Amino acid sequence: MDKCIACGACTKKCPGKKPDEYNEGIISRKAIYVPYPQAVPLKYAIDPEICLYLQKGKCGTCKKVCPTGAINYDDKEEQVTLKVGSVIVTAGFKAFNPAKLDQYQHGTLPNVVTSLEFERYLSAGGPTAGHIKRPSDGKEPRKIAWLQCVGSRDINKCDNEYCSSVCCMYAIKEAVIAREHLGKDCRPAIFFMDLRSHGKEFEKYYNRAKADGVRFIRSRVHSITEIDQSGTLDLRYVTESGDIMNETFDMVVLSIGMEAPDSIMDLAGTLGIELNQYHFVKTDDLSPVATSKPGIYVAGVAQGCKDIPQSVMEASAAACSAGISLARARGSLVREKIFPPEKQITGQEPRIGVFVCNCGVNIGGIADVPAVVEYAKTLPGVTYAEENLFSCSQDTQDKMVEVIREQNLNRVVVAACTPRTHEPLFQETLRNANLNPYLFEMANIRNQCTWVHSDNKEIATRKAKNLVSMSVSRARLLEAVPALSVNVDKSALVVGGGVAGMTAALSLANQGFPATIVEKTEELGGAARDIHKTWQGQDVQKFLKDLISKVENHPDINVMINAEITGASGFVGNFETMIAAGGNTSIVRHGATIIATGGQASETDEYLLGKNPNVTRWHDLEHNPDKLKKAESVVFIQCVGSRDEKRPYCSRICCTASIKQAILAKDLNPGADVYVLYRDIRTFGDREVLYKEARNKGVIFIRYSLENKPVVQEVEGGLEVLVFDPVLQKKLAIQADLVNLATAIVPHDNEKLASLYKLSMNEDKFFMEAHAKLRPVDFATDGLFLCGLAHYPKPIEENIAQAMAAASRAATILSKPSIQVSPLVSQINAEKCIGCGLCVSICPFGAIELEEIEGKGKRAKNISASCKGCGLCASSCPQKAIDMLHFRDEQIVAAVIAAA
């Protein structure tokens, strides 16, 4: 595997063929293959099932054509024994196979595809290069229908009763992107039961899709037939008001759900962990990543259906759990690579070495590499140039180190493939040769040259020379950029003493990192004080009491109540926060900051709340469930203050919470009439079973629309709720003893905190994470992390997981005595700066501040540890007082001039 340089010569000649799993079988792949061009590791593998040599002893072509001798047919599967302190199961899922559901005709009708197949059609790297084509005739479809809940929320055939949680959103996304690809003529329609856009920024995405022409039809499609073998599909469905409809579409996408992978049974048996009835790994709500066996943790869809950010949070939470159980062994098995000392080159004339790569035939087969080498030798500053068959192979790397030393080179240019994959490798080579890694420059003469000019040797050669000339011109001006590291204060500050804040603090303290909790009220507990049971029935108050006791008694946790943050400064590893508590102001130094300021159920003046004692909010009822015993008629109203113009987001927890209370109402008084007035039921994941249980127990669900909200009025003897029932097509008047409102979950006022720590918030005043999918607990600024309701409304199990995730991310900083940060940062010329502050306001990372210089006024000052080197400040500075290290204006201009 070390010898493979992924040149692809083997796969070109390989005669084996098999449906390509990566492209969902839409096209085929060879027996020797990489799953996709960006695969990591980028190494070709042989599929023994279809390799002619391994099956029949014939062929052997790949071995013949491999230029590096990387093919080894004798390689056998090995059993290895690993000694580990902990195990994390992240086995993922398998996509539901719709062939089992004959009404959808997948596999029979070519224009019925799965959502995963459609992803491949959309992808620029997919089988149709991103052009959406009907499989039957290659024509562009105009009308495309998405069918939701295929394999989810049903138990008619071999499907699943749970909700897969992600299909509504990915269907909307596919519809939106399809319309971007196909233009305004494309008319997407989504057939759904309940539209579940319950995540952060999801509801807005749904609203935008509606406004942008995506049609949403509340119906489950009964059957699909093809009209006269034309490829056009006829969909038969019943509307909500009972009309039978037939509509034709060019293409149908089945929004398939997720299932536990087949291998999970064996894996669970081997590990000795329990699975739930759907074969997902069993966990408790209050310890969301712990399996039934100590030391073994689970994260992602292996635990149950969820989207990417939730999976990523759990991944970090599981890492945190493992970190706690192995805290005393931290650092015992890891080693740091040590490089030889760097040579000083300041003031030396440039001595540039140019290494031109043939990349097998990828470059050498098209461009005239020897001519490029000869040309490089003529460029000013170049003292050495040579060609290599494969610059990235280990033997060439070793040779390069020798050449750099022998020729006393002080700058290196490699003309080869892309720096995206190979720059770190060559930079390491420079470091091994006593050179600073930033004295390196790469010219991409493959992806941007021979691959796009493969039919014209002359043009390819000329362009390769040009690219080399640009790189050499830039290399002449490169300077050593010293590594930047900052010391780390090994403690954390946690803002907020609710379940999220306490869990984060405890998770750090249990790993030996002290934490200070700043709570603005007089007691710990936060919003969880209003919740009595998790959705699966675990006792929240008992858990909360226990958690508070652990936090208060932990020697490494300092709790400050009635405390307010009045000032903040510093950067990753070195924060200083001013805290006012009990009339005193103290300064706390900390290496990481976790924001867990929480949220609460909102008030409302709708539906007679506060005017009639029998109108309550759901958590008022949570404290006083006895009210349900006496009520003969209970009405729950959902989305009170959520999903409207003022708060265009879903509060995520209310459907499950109200349905739980509706079930309780039925359990306490089976004869009672219990109604849930809703807009979409959003019992995502396994919570769907609660919805089913409620219906089985006789809870009546009536859907209302935002345009036609229910009306609550006082009548003689109690309350009356008026609502239009879309199934009966009638207005109903419900006599109610009790009306319970699911009011929106809102964040606390975080404006001041946001400005002190320079954190951004979204339009709904929830804090913004660095990346919606991949960095759900990191802030854009290093060293600051986010968890709990301050991020978005979520149930307690998700808050706990997110808090542990924030602790895990903080531990990646706190576990090191010092951290390396990228030294490619902005550099401010104080002489040119006029202190206008434009850079301060434009910096997304809070990495520039204004400081008072005596007699001169304010001047910009860069905080290198927070700077990401994006260059926004440099490009916006009206005085040109800011330059970016390694990307100085003069370095970029030199390359541009060389190109001209």
| Sign of the torsion formed by the C-alpha atoms of 678, 679, 681 and 682 | negative
Total binding residues for other proteins by CB under 8 A?
82
The reply on whether position 107 binds other proteins by CB under 8 A is: no
Which stretch in 67-75, 84-92, 478-486, 546-554 sits in contact with other proteins by CB under 8 A?
84-92
The reply on whether position 507 binds other proteins by CB under 8 A is: no
The reply on whether position 870 binds other proteins by CB under 8 A is: no
The reply on whether position 585 binds other proteins by CB under 8 A is: no
Q: How far is the CB of 441 from other proteins (least distance, A)?
A: 26
Q: 165-184: which residues touch other proteins (CB under 8 A)? A: 169-170, 172-173, 176-177
Cβ-count burial 837-869 (b if 16+ within 10 Å, e if not) = ebbbeebebbbbbbeeeeeeebbbebbbbbbbb
| Sign of the torsion formed by the C-alpha atoms of 763, 767, 771 and 772 | negative
Three state DSSP letters for 589-654: EECEEEECCCEEECCCCHHHCCCCCCEEEHHHHHHCCHHHHHCCEEEEEEEECCCCCCCCCCCCCH
Q: Which of 154, 201, 556, 576 lies at the binding interface for other proteins (CB under 8 A)?
A: 201
Say how far apart CA 883 and CA 869 lie, in whole Å.
10
Q: What would the two tokens of residue 833 be?
A: 């700066």
Which stretch in 64-72, 125-133, 136-144, 154-162 sits in contact with other proteins by CB under 8 A?
125-133
Q: How far is the CB of 301 from other proteins (least distance, A)?
A: 8
Q: How far is the CB of 47 from other proteins (least distance, A)?
A: 9
Q: Which of 9, 14, 91, 628 lies at the binding interface for other proteins (CB under 8 A)?
A: 91
The reply on whether position 93 binds other proteins by CB under 8 A is: yes
Q: How far is the CB of 454 from other proteins (least distance, A)?
A: 24
The reply on whether position 485 binds other proteins by CB under 8 A is: no
The residue among 184 and 730 lying less far from other proteins, judged by its C-beta, is 184
The reply on whether position 724 binds other proteins by CB under 8 A is: no
Q: Which of 81, 229, 332, 584 lies at the binding interface for other proteins (CB under 8 A)?
A: 332
Rg of the chain (C-alpha set): 31
Which stretch in 90-98, 457-465, 729-737, 867-875 sits in contact with other proteins by CB under 8 A?
90-98
Q: Which of 53, 104, 192, 202 lies at the binding interface for other proteins (CB under 8 A)?
A: 202
Q: Which of 15, 85, 567, 670 lies at the binding interface for other proteins (CB under 8 A)?
A: 85
Which stretch in 120-128, 429-437, 453-461, 656-664 sits in contact with other proteins by CB under 8 A?
120-128
The reply on whether position 580 binds other proteins by CB under 8 A is: no
Q: How far is the CB of 712 from other proteins (least distance, A)?
A: 33
Say how far apart CA 194 and CA 676 lie, in whole Å.
14
The residue among 333 and 897 lying less far from other proteins, judged by its C-beta, is 333
The answer to whether the CB of 596 falls within 8 A of the CB of 803 is yes
The reply on whether position 244 binds other proteins by CB under 8 A is: no
Q: Which of 325, 456, 485, 735 lies at the binding interface for other proteins (CB under 8 A)?
A: 325
Q: Which of 217, 235, 251, 322 lies at the binding interface for other proteins (CB under 8 A)?
A: 322
The answer to whether the CB of 750 falls within 8 A of the CB of 761 is yes
Which stretch in 138-146, 272-280, 313-321, 473-481 sits in contact with other proteins by CB under 8 A?
313-321
CB atoms within 10 A of CB 17: 11
The reply on whether position 293 binds other proteins by CB under 8 A is: no
The reply on whether position 320 binds other proteins by CB under 8 A is: yes
Q: 434-473: which residues touch other proteins (CB under 8 A)? A: none
The reply on whether position 808 binds other proteins by CB under 8 A is: yes
Strand-pair partners of 560: 518
Q: How far is the CB of 854 from other proteins (least distance, A)?
A: 42
The residue among 292 and 538 lying less far from other proteins, judged by its C-beta, is 292
Q: Which of 95, 403, 580, 689 lies at the binding interface for other proteins (CB under 8 A)?
A: 95
Strand-pair partners of 492: 515, 592
The amino acid occupying position 292 is S
The amino acid occupying position 566 is T
The answer to whether the CB of 16 falls within 8 A of the CB of 31 is yes
Q: 809-868: which residues touch other proteins (CB under 8 A)? A: 809, 811-812, 815-816
The residue among 321 and 683 lying less far from other proteins, judged by its C-beta, is 321
Coil, strand or helix at 592: strand
Return the residue matching tokens 């009763």: 161
Which stretch in 86-94, 372-380, 829-837, 887-895 sits in contact with other proteins by CB under 8 A?
86-94
The amino acid occupying position 802 is Q
The reply on whether position 567 binds other proteins by CB under 8 A is: no
Q: How far is the CB of 212 from other proteins (least distance, A)?
A: 12
The reply on whether position 896 binds other proteins by CB under 8 A is: no
The reply on whether position 267 binds other proteins by CB under 8 A is: yes
**Residue 373 backbone dihedrals phi, psi, to 5 degrees:** -65, -45
The reply on whether position 122 binds other proteins by CB under 8 A is: yes
The reply on whether position 134 binds other proteins by CB under 8 A is: no
The answer to whether the CB of 136 falls within 8 A of the CB of 241 is no
Q: Which of 27, 84, 227, 265 lies at the binding interface for other proteins (CB under 8 A)?
A: 84
Q: How far is the CB of 673 from other proteins (least distance, A)?
A: 39
Q: How far is the CB of 282 from other proteins (least distance, A)?
A: 16
Q: How far is the CB of 391 from other proteins (least distance, A)?
A: 23
Say how far apart CA 14 and CA 30 lie, in whole Å.
6
Q: Which of 840, 846, 38 lies closest to 418 in space, CA to CA?
A: 38
Three state DSSP letters for 129-155: CCCCCCCCCCCCCCEEEEEEEECCCCC
Coil, strand or helix at 761: strand
Q: 744-773: which residues touch other proteins (CB under 8 A)? A: 771-773
Q: How far is the CB of 323 from other proteins (least distance, A)?
A: 6
Cβ-count burial 379-409 (b if 16+ within 10 Å, e if not) = bebbbbbbbbbbbbbeebbebbbebbeeeeb
Kind of pairing, strands 223-226 and 233-238? Answer: antiparallel
Return the residue matching tokens 């320079």: 758
The residue among 420 and 611 lying less far from other proteins, judged by its C-beta, is 420
Q: Which of 576, 509, 595 lies closest to 778 in space, CA to CA?
A: 595
Residues in CB range of 595: below 8 A, 6 or more apart: 495, 496, 753, 757, 759, 767, 779, 784, 785, 786, 787, 790
Which stretch in 102-110, 185-193, 198-206, 891-899 sits in contact with other proteins by CB under 8 A?
198-206
The reply on whether position 478 binds other proteins by CB under 8 A is: no
The answer to whether the CB of 652 falls within 8 A of the CB of 199 is yes
The amino acid occupying position 544 is L
The reply on whether position 34 binds other proteins by CB under 8 A is: yes
Q: What would the two tokens of residue 478 be?
A: 């490169």
For the chain, the maximum distance between any two Cα atoms, rounded to a whole number of angstroms, is 100
Q: How far is the CB of 812 from other proteins (least distance, A)?
A: 4
The residue among 762 and 879 lying less far from other proteins, judged by its C-beta, is 762
Q: Distance of CA 700 to CAs 93, 366, 618, 662, 815, Å?
A: 34, 72, 18, 10, 54
Q: 652-671: which residues touch other proteins (CB under 8 A)? A: none
Q: Distance of CA 432 to CAs 93, 429, 822, 824, Å?
A: 43, 5, 19, 20
The reply on whether position 308 binds other proteins by CB under 8 A is: yes
726 prior amide bond cis, ω within 30: no
Q: Which of 319, 559, 628, 894 lies at the binding interface for other proteins (CB under 8 A)?
A: 319
Coil, strand or helix at 275: strand
Q: What would the two tokens of residue 538 be?
A: 């675990």
| Sign of the torsion formed by the C-alpha atoms of 888, 891, 897 and 900 | negative
The reply on whether position 58 binds other proteins by CB under 8 A is: no
Residues, the chain = 900
